[in-house]
């Protein structure tokens, strides 16, 4: 797609939004007249005056935005086959008929978003046993062999590469034992919080409640979530010491995924104001965009298998969005946050079907309205120009092999 055409389409869209906001302005008629005059002046050398003065502003903008190249515009005019025998009304009719075909001749953009990436999950379950969280905390001993020895100061690997297990424990308002990524942990009464190192430098926050319920956050995948549950069950069995009443009944009774966080990249920069206007005015969706408080366009997509997947709650009673999305009055709310960079976050889903449906629905909107929402090259250039280069300085005495510097200069 020609970048100049994208810029003009974007400009026309912003102009429409501006005019809509100015409807109560007493000078709106003068503004419309001025805009129409500019559009007419661009086309006057191609179209007869007795026709062009009667074209609507929408028709003029349609022609201008479709043909940024004057040669293509001239070709469009020649295809009308005007002759002296045609009346003004006949010429005007031919122009309007030709304009209707423009939407079909415009090349459709095919966007290339990345695949969805599952960042984290939240899982809940039941171990079917009363848990003495105080005894669990009391008998926990932090492992001494889980920390790594960094090869250099820049290394971010805090733990040993192949170590897997429970490395931290906290209960009620007691001081944490072992290792946690956060320096300060919140107090949760009637529960114990375990920090489980599940893979290379990746930890799962595992909460055990006294009634046997469990909650896992920061889970990379369902498989690793189940693996961490097995680790906790095995640990309790090996170190029982009155942690549970009936060790034989200690097993995972039920579990479910209650939250999936995912993200992807749509492949182009987004004009957020235009996107928000399209979602609100053309799709009647629930959208929140206030760049001063949050940089993303937040869309609340309501999922329900019993209604058409248009992202709107069509139930008789407005849903709050905490259902499973499988019946009327039981919608599941999924949040889609879009950022200027083209990065998109989808949160709130409970199943892969939830987030995939939202992913496909939203990408279709991005594709259909690409010209209106793509952030133009000129805007990107401004961002680059406004970027201030940062300089970092290193003290010579901190460079261990500074003696090699002079030899490098001579190469």
Domain identity same for 291 and 185: no
Q: Where are the alpha helices (DSSP H) in 256-318?
A: 272-281
Q: Are residues 304 and 373 in the same domain?
A: yes
User: What's the token pair of residue 107?
Assistant: 């090349």
The structural domain count of the chain equals 3
- Joined tokens for residue 167: 């490395």
Last residue of a domain, one of 39, 70, 105: 105
Tell me: do 97 and 145 sit in the same domain: no
Residue-number span of the structural domain to which 43 is assigned: 3-105
Q: DSSP 3-state assignment of 147? A: strand
Query: In angstroms, rounded to a whole number, what is the distance separating the alpha carbons of residues 363 and 298?
Result: 15
Q: Span 16-32, mean pLDDT?
A: 61
Q: What pLDDT score does 382 carry?
A: 45
184 and 220 in a single domain? The answer is yes
Does 91 reside within a domain? yes
pLDDT mean over 151-177 = 81
CB 167 within 8 A of CB 159: yes
Tokens at 4, concatenated? 């100049």
Give the dihedral sign, CA 34/36/42/43: negative
Min mean pLDDT across 40-44, 210-214, 322-326, 334-338 is at: 40-44
336 vs 85: which has the higher pLDDT = 336
pLDDT at 1 over 50: no
Does residue 397 lie in a domain region?
no
**Residue 201: CA count within 13 A, CB half-sphere:** 6
Q: What integer pLDDT is reported at residue 193 of this predicted model?
A: 94
Residue 403, pLDDT above cutoff 80: no
Q: Which helix (H) or strand (E) element contains residue 135? A: helix 133-139
Running DSSP on this structure, what letter comes out for residue 270? Answer: B
- Rounded Cα–Cα distance for residues 235 and 237 (Å): 5
* Residues 84 and 132 occupy one common structural domain: no
Cβ-contact 129, 246 below 8 angstroms: yes
Instruction: Confirm whether 200 is domain-assigned.
Output: yes
Let me know if residue 119 belongs to a domain: no
Report yes or no on 407 lying in a domain: no
Among 218, 252, 286, the domain boundary falls at: 252
Judged on CB neighbours under 10 Å (0-12, 13-18, 19+), 61 is buried
In this structure, are residues 348 and 331 in contact, taking their beta carbons and an 8 Å threshold? no
Average pLDDT score over residue span 325-335: 93
Distance between CA 362 and CA 364 in Å, rounded? 5
pLDDT-derived band at 310, boundaries 50, 70, 90: confident
Range list of β-strands (E), 68-187? 117-126, 165-172, 177-178
Say if residue 285's pLDDT is above 70: yes
How far apart, in Å, are the Cα atoms of 382 and each of 5, 7, 391? 19, 14, 21
Strand order in the sheet with 286-288: 177-178, 165-172, 188-199, 202-209, 213-219, 117-126, 254-265, 343-349, 332-338, 297-303, 286-288
pLDDT at 4: 44
DSSP code at position 79: T
The enclosing domain of 371 has a CATH number of 3.30.310.10
What's the mean pLDDT in 131-159?
A: 80
374 and 276 fall within a common domain: yes
Q: Identify whether residues 173 and 225 lie together within a single domain.
A: yes
Residues 226 and 159 placed together within one structural domain of the fold: yes
Q: pLDDT tens digits, residue range 100-122? A: 666 555 556 789 999 999 999 99
Nearest to 206 by CA among 109, 124, 293, 115: 124
- Burial category of 212 from C-beta neighbours within 10 Å (exposed 0-12, middle 13-18, buried 19 and up): middle
pLDDT higher for 38 or 233? 233
Q: What's the rounded mean pLDDT across residues 146-152?
A: 70
C-alpha to C-alpha distance for 20 and 15, rounded to whole angstroms? 9
- CA 207, CA 209: separation in Å to the nearest integer? 7
Please identify, among 72, 105, 138, the residue that sits at the C-terminal boundary of a domain: 105
pLDDT at residue 362 tops 80:
yes
3-class SS of residue 91:
helix
Report angle CA 12, 17, 23 to the nearest 5 degrees: 125
Domain match, 211 and 291 both: no
In percent, how much of the chain has pLDDT > 90? 45
What confidence score (pLDDT) does residue 242 get?
86
Number of Cα atoms under 13 Å in the Cβ half of residue 85: 1
Together in a domain, 274 and 381: yes
- How confident is the model over 117-131, as a mean pLDDT? 95
| pLDDT tens profile 156-168 | 677 878 889 999 9
**Which H or E run contains 377?**
helix 377-386
Q: Are residues 26 and 97 in the same domain?
A: yes
- Structure tokens that stand for 247 in this block: 């060790």
Average the pLDDT over 174-195 and give the result. Answer: 87
Residue 267, domain member (yes or no):
yes
Between 66 and 199, whose confidence is greater? 199
Residue pLDDT, tens place only, 201-215: 789 999 999 999 999
Q: Is residue 122 part of a domain?
A: no
What pLDDT, in 10s, does the model give residues 36-92? Answer: 566 666 666 666 666 666 666 666 666 665 655 555 555 666 666 666 677 777 777
Q: Which H/E stretch holds residue 17?
A: helix 3-21
Radius of gyration of the chain, Cα coordinates, nearest whole angstrom: 31
State if pTM tops 0.75.
Answer: no
**Residue 410 resides in a domain:** no
Confidence of residue 8 (pLDDT cuts 50, 70, 90): very low
pLDDT at 409: 62
Do 243 and 302 fall within a single domain?
no
């Amino acid at each position: 797609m020609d970048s100049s055409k994208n810029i003009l389409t974007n400009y026309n869209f912003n102009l429409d939004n501006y005019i809509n906001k100015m409807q109560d302005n007493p000078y709106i008629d003068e503004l419309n007249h001025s805009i129409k005059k500019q559009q007419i002046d661009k086309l006057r050398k191609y179209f007869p005056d007795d026709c062009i003065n009667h074209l609507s502003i929408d028709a003029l903008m349609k022609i201008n935005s479709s043909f940024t190249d004057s040669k293509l515009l001239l070709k469009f005019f020649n295809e009308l086959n005007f002759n002296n025998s045609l009346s003004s009304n006949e010429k005007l009719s031919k122009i309007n008929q030709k304009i209707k075909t423009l939407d079909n001749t415009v090349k459709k953009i095919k966007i290339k978003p990345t695949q969805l990436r599952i960042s984290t999950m939240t899982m809940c379950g039941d171990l079917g046993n009363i848990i003495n969280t105080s005894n669990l905390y009391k008998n926990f001993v932090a492992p001494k062999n889980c920390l790594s020895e960094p090869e250099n100061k820049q290394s971010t690997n805090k733990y040993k590469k192949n170590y897997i297990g429970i490395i931290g424990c906290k209960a009620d308002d007691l001081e944490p034992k072992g290792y946690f990524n956060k320096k300060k942990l919140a107090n949760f009464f009637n529960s114990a919080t375990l920090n489980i190192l599940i893979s290379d430098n990746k930890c799962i926050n595992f909460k055990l409640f006294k009634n046997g319920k469990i909650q896992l956050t920061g889970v990379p995948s369902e498989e690793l979530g189940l693996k961490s549950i097995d680790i906790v069950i095995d640990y309790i069995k090996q170190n029982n010491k009155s942690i549970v009443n009936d060790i034989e009944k200690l097993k995972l009774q039920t579990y479910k995924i209650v939250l999936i966080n995912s993200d992807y990249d749509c492949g182009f920069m987004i004009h957020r104001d235009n996107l928000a206007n399209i979602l609100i005015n053309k799709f009647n969706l629930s959208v929140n965009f206030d760049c001063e408080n949050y940089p993303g366009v937040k869309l609340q997509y309501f999922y329900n298998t019993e209604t058409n997947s248009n992202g709107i709650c069509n139930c008789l009673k407005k849903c709050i969005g905490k259902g499973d999305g499988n019946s009327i009055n039981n919608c599941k709310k999924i949040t889609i946050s879009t950022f200027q960079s083209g990065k998109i976050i989808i949160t709130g889903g409970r199943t892969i079907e939830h987030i995939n449906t939202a992913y496909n629905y939203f990408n279709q909107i991005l594709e259909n309205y690409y010209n209106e929402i793509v952030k133009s090259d000129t805007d990107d250039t401004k961002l680059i120009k406004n970027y201030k280069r940062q300089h970092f300085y290193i003290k010579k005495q901190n460079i261990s092999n500074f003696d090699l510097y002079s030899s490098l200069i001579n190469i």
